[in-house]
Amino acid sequence: MGEEGGIDHARMKRFDLYASFPNEGYISSVDLLNNLIATTSTKNVIQIYDVSEKREKLTYSIEDIVINDVKLVKTVLGESGDSTVDCQVNECLFSAYEKNKKCKIYHFDLLQKKVIHVFEFLSEIVDNSFVLHPNTHIFIVALRSKELIVTHVRDRTTIYRTSVNNEQCIASYNKTGIIYAYTVSTNAIYLCSCFGDDYNDEFFANFDVTKITANNNACTHIDFSFDEKKMLVATQNCCIYTLDAYTGDVLYSYSFLYESSSPRASPAVPSYPIYSFDSNYVLSGGRDGNLHVWDVKGNPVCKKKIDNHVLFVKWVYNRVAFVTTSNYLLIWQIPKDN
């Protein structure tokens, strides 16, 4: 099967370890941009890795604060619109805990190893609500004070601010960055258009998700498929669903087939599932030390033993998926041949 085709079940079952990087602390967040991967850890260290070269490119320790939610920033935006062009990455954003409260986002120069600016908020940042636009220097963040704020990194200005009815509001952009979604309440998801810095109170879709959020089972994660027809939603009790991105209808659900002998972690272990690049599979960590893979309709395809709890799953555009587990960054590759 060619590079442009989808992944068949046989190839998905055969994907295996491509590279492994140890970390002195527990990995607390991860981000990718083209062939670069960034992680933060509980040792307050930022590490940048090159996937193609299988090596670490940069390590920097941040003093006095606890860092999380790393986001790589494109230093120079390409004019061609070709996402395969290797963009320059000299900067990043990350959130920070100070006095046990996460109220700040740092803009950091990776080459000069210095803080460019600090964005400070009057309330705590909701976990998994901080998202960076894929093509511009704009980020969204939700606060415990029931606010959603859109900020321009370069201009250091607030572009848009709105109230929400949800202390656990989360947000997500679709892959092209022309749509963003957020949980305006525990039972509703708004979809809004955004072009450049044009953000406003108008939403073009309001999805009632009461069926999946009953009994205070709040949404904790949203991911759009690469074909942008589907939305993946995870909830507080580690359930995963695919919604129609046009109607909000629940199309499929995904069940973890745990073995009775499998050791279980605390239910508090988060699950941040993703779609594969061809939008035909769903990948997620489970509470049994496995990476779980389903086809998009919810049929189990395979489980990969990781021997530790899978915290994050990301998809690299060149067909390399990677998983971070406690203090290891593991990069997996799907074979190109049949």
pLDDT tens readout for residues 224-264: 998 899 999 999 888 999 999 999 999 999 988 777 665 55
Q: In the chain, where are the structural domains located?
A: 9-333
For residue 210 the two structure tokens come to 């009461």
Residue 81: predicted pLDDT: 45
pLDDT along the chain (338 residues), means of 10: 63 84 87 88 91 89 89 69 59 93 95 93 95 93 98 96 96 95 97 92 94 91 93 92 97 86 56 88 86 94 83 72 76 73
DSSP codes of every residue in 184-243: EETTEEEEEE-BTTB--S--SEEEE-HHHHTTT--EEEEEE-TTSSEEEEEETTS-EEEE
Given a contact cutoff of 8 angstroms between Cβ atoms, the answer to whether 127 and 167 are in contact is no
Would the pTM count as exceeding 0.75?
yes
Question: What CATH number is given for 9-333 in this structure?
Answer: 2.130.10.10
Q: Give the model confidence (pLDDT) of 104-140 as tens digits.
A: 999 999 889 899 999 999 999 999 999 999 988 999 9
Q: Which residue's entry shows tokens 């046009």?
A: 246
